[in-house]
Chain A
Amino acid sequence: MMTQTWAIFVDAYRELNSKKLFWITMVLSGLVVALFACVGIDERSPTFLWFHIDFLPIDSTMFSPALLYKLLFLNLGLGVWLTWIATILALISTAPIFPDLIAGGAIETVLSKPISRTRLFLTKYAAGLLFVGLQVGVFTGASFLVIGIRGGAWEPGLFLAVPIVVVFFSYLFAVCAVLGLMTRSTIASLLLTILFWFFLYLLNMADAIFVSFREQTEAEIAMRTAQIERAERGTSRMLVRQREAEQRAENGGEQPGGSLPDGASPGEPAGEGTLAAWTPTAEEIDAANPFIAQMRRDNEQSRDGLAQLEWWSGLMFAIKTPLPKTGETISLLSRTLIDMAELEAAEAAASEEDGGSGRDAPPLMPGQEPPELDREAIAEAGGRGTRDEFQSRSVWWVMGTSLAFEAAVLGFGAWRFSRRDF
């Protein structure tokens, strides 16, 4: 049994070895790693070879070289090169495997050997993953050396990229293999697979957009709620002072029970006297400050929008559940590779360098128009919330359900392959 399996894998390697595209991809991978090694960071700014890139507002005090290289590896090496360009090249290289296998003149000899069709199909499929396995293995190995030598961090976790990218590619290759079996055409199977991948990409984008909008709306509501509280505090304080003044006027200018110290909230013990227990009602506050009512109405509208966004993001989640999650599978690596606390600290430092938000929260007095909500802060909160939401999704949901999809597709392919006449 192992003789046949090994033979199929050796044959797959020989086939790869004969393909120019395999070697072109390998050379391009080498170039990407070489470019990667040219990038650096010092106390002044990022560098490329011996040039400083001064317009980028980061330096080694914010981003350690190790963190910079890991981010470069994740976002460019993995996120762009391996999961987009190299994957398309891999699909182009591997798409002919099944149409070639079942081509007239080729399939008869293979099927005449004592191997079950199911095993032949699955082994051939697994051997097809060799392209990506070898490419990612070499790329990751080279990146490991670059990060170790240039960044000073020897990170064995980097090699998790190999299984993760292979699993990611396997979702697409399963679809490509079955389409190749059904259509007998390399071009048709390749184009349909890329179309399917594009659909998954759009779905993921839609999910991310809805989650981001939801998070932004939540942040907006929270900010507006804070503004309402500030306005209520200011208005309440003003009403208390008004009441004090009225009572003083009624008592002939005598202090009724001490004034409200600055900064104390209404309702808090403010000293001895009857005024300490008095708190304006919400209606009184709203009547005194029309902006509060407006902000409450705005919040109500935002909450309605939030409910809709939650429904849509729930729908996206439900649609994505049975389908392969390509983007999220790749993102699994960042969970283990990047220390989120370090990343957030670096981002915060960069943000402050950039001017920072400089937020404080003085009470808003009646007649004082509430300031515009900080859209940048809302967008940041949305981005952070989206990242947290995606990272909170379990590995089982991300990978388990994707592999279940793949198993279903392969099961169908194996069944079709086993029953078909050639």
Chain B
Amino acid sequence: MTSSGNDGGAAVASSAAGAAGTGAAAMASRSDYAIDLAHVAKTYRGRKKVRALRGIEMRVHRGEVFGLLGPNGAGKSTLVKILMTVISPSECHGTMLGEQVGRKETLGRVGYLAEHHRFPDYLTGAQVLDFFGAMAKVPGAERKKRIPRLLELVGMKDWANQKIKSYSKGMRQRVGIAQALMNEPDLILLDEPTDGVDPVGRRDIRNLVQHLKDEGKTVFVNSHLLSELEMVCDRVAILVQGVVSKQGTLDELTSDKKRYEIEVAGDAVQAQTAFRAALPGAVGQGEFQPAMEGAAGHAADAPPTSSPLARRVGLHGNLATGEWVEIERNTLRVGTTDPAAIQPILDGLRERGVMIRSVRPMRPSLEDLFMEAVTDPMTGEVLKPGAADGPGGGARHSARGLVDGGGGATGAESAGSSGGEVRP
């Protein structure tokens, strides 16, 4: 069902009969989510048709901090604007706070900090809060109580009566966050909240997000700063070229990529020889099988964390027991979380007199996940921004194939049913 218009609840059509998540039971379960999107698509029609969103499926649980990340042009802002009724979707099945997306009344329970927001220069910080609080239907007496409290919360109490035009970028950001909280929302969408904010301010915003979570609010953060998200988010989604590439908790997303890294002393050639010698005997039942010799065509078989260098020199493969193994300079990576699995390797290295410098259990960072999502595994190059219509979607297909285990789905039609989500 295609939506049209932006006014009130007319913006978004309800789910079509038979579509995922329809029916009373489905709706009831959906209300458990702060945001539950089954299929959101947006196509900009102009001289060149651009499919900005190709079928977003995303769920944000109530009371969690959810991070949305993606490269420029991935469609993050388009998605947030659709939720806030700033943009009308081409197609949208989904709910926000249990109501259909696009319903104006629901926005009274939502706070929103827009990216690159611009408040009128003639207003003071307190007046900005008063105006947007009134627009969110907060009664006057209530606004008077909340304004000083919120300005204090964001550290702007002393600037309450100064004109916005005298504020720095970071101060405007703080006031922007305060205005998003004026209606005491159940769901807060923050689009690049730390944009232009200094490190102290970032820490304050992180603390504020944590504070909001502790109060039971749902916080949806859209940010480029992966380290920021990693510190505050319970769950994340990575949006690439208009589809959700991955979503879940960090543990869920990295569970199959956790590894042990063994670093040895000495020069790299000796280390690699020692690793190769130690592996078959160390594993015992199996034998190290080099998977490739520099051929890009076998990239799909590479370990999830396989580095370009390792792939280039062809020093990766699988043990007979199934764990992937990768050698890069003085480091051996083994795809396991079981410490027992690496003991034979360590024994083999010691038997050969190799000095072990460190043994560390490792988990990919959010940046690793992000880079993996936005890198074309065939070429090793970062995918182009945007989601122009046409065969370009195929590049994403390859990436999604890697993430989703080669589901083979492409484009808007199939993206809604995948997304690589790991659900509890």
Contact = CB atoms under 8 A, between A and B. Distances in A.
A115 B7 CA distance: 9
Interface string A85-126: 000000000000000100111111111111111100000000
Interface stretch (A7-15, A246-254, A350-358): A7-15
A190 to B, nearest CB: 20
Nearest to A7: B134
Interface stretch (B65-73, B82-90, B416-424): B82-90
Contacts of A103: 118
B33 interface: no
Contacts of A112: 84-86, 107, 110, 112, 114
A421 B6 CA distance: 8
A359 interface: no
Chain A contact-residue range equals 20 to 34
Interface in B133-177: 134-140, 176
Interface in B67-111: 81, 84-88, 104-108, 110
A17 B124 CA distance: 13
Given A4-B137, A108-B84, A113 B107 contact: yes
B123 interface: yes
Contacts of B139: 3
Contacts of A308: none
Most chain B CB inside 10 Å of its own CB: which residue of A3, A114, A422: A114
B127 A115 contact: no
A6 B86 contact: no
A15 B6 CA distance: 27
Contacts, number: 103
B6 A115 contact: no
B117 A109 contact: yes
Contacts of A11: 120, 123, 131
Contacts of B88: 419, 421
Contacts of A419: 4-6, 88
Contact of B118 (A105, A111, A115): A105
B6 A418 contact: yes
A376 B7 CA distance: 62
A113 B7 contact: no
Contact of B7 (A6, A105, A117, A422): A117
A18 interface: yes
Contact of B84 (A18, A111, A117, A118): A111
A368 B366 CA distance: 112
B135 A113 contact: yes
B195 to A, nearest CB: 12
B8 interface: yes
A113 B123 contact: no
A335 interface: no
Interface string A200-242: 0000000000000000000000000000000000000000000
A3 B122 contact: no
Nearest to A421: B87
B15 interface: no
Contacts of A114: 104-108, 136-137
A413 to B, nearest CB: 13
Contacts of B122: 14-15, 17-18
A110 B84 CA distance: 10
Contacts of A8: 135
B127 A7 contact: no
B7 A4 contact: no
A418 B5 contact: yes
A3 B87 contact: no
A110 B120 contact: no
B116 interface: yes
Contacts of B245: none
Contacts of B14: none
Contacts of B86: 107-108, 111-112, 421-422
Interface string A176-191: 0000000000000000
A172 B66 CA distance: 48
A106 B137 CA distance: 19
A260 to B, nearest CB: 87
Interface in A364-422: 418-422
Contacts of B131: 7, 10-11
Interface string B28-50: 00000000000000001000000
Most A CB within 10 A of own CB, among B6, B120, B130, B135 = B135
A7 B122 CA distance: 15
B120 A116 contact: no
B134 A109 contact: no
B179 interface: yes
Contacts of B138: 3
A103 B130 CA distance: 21
A14 B134 CA distance: 15
B178 to A, nearest CB: 12
Contacts of A14: 120, 122-123, 127
A420 B136 CA distance: 21
A111 to B, nearest CB: 5
A110 B6 contact: no
Contacts of B110: 112
B116 A109 contact: no
Nearest to A110: B135
Given A11-B120, A111-B86, A114-B106, 5 more contacts: A11-B123, A100-B120, A104-B118, A109-B112, A116-B104
17 contacts: A3-B138, A4-B135, A7-B131, A7-B134, A10-B131, A14-B120, A14-B127, A100-B120, A104-B118, A108-B84, A108-B115, A109-B117, A109-B119, A419-B5, A421-B6, A421-B86, A421-B87
Interface of B: 4-8, 44, 81, 84-88, 104-108, 110, 112, 114-123, 127, 130-132, 134-140, 176, 179
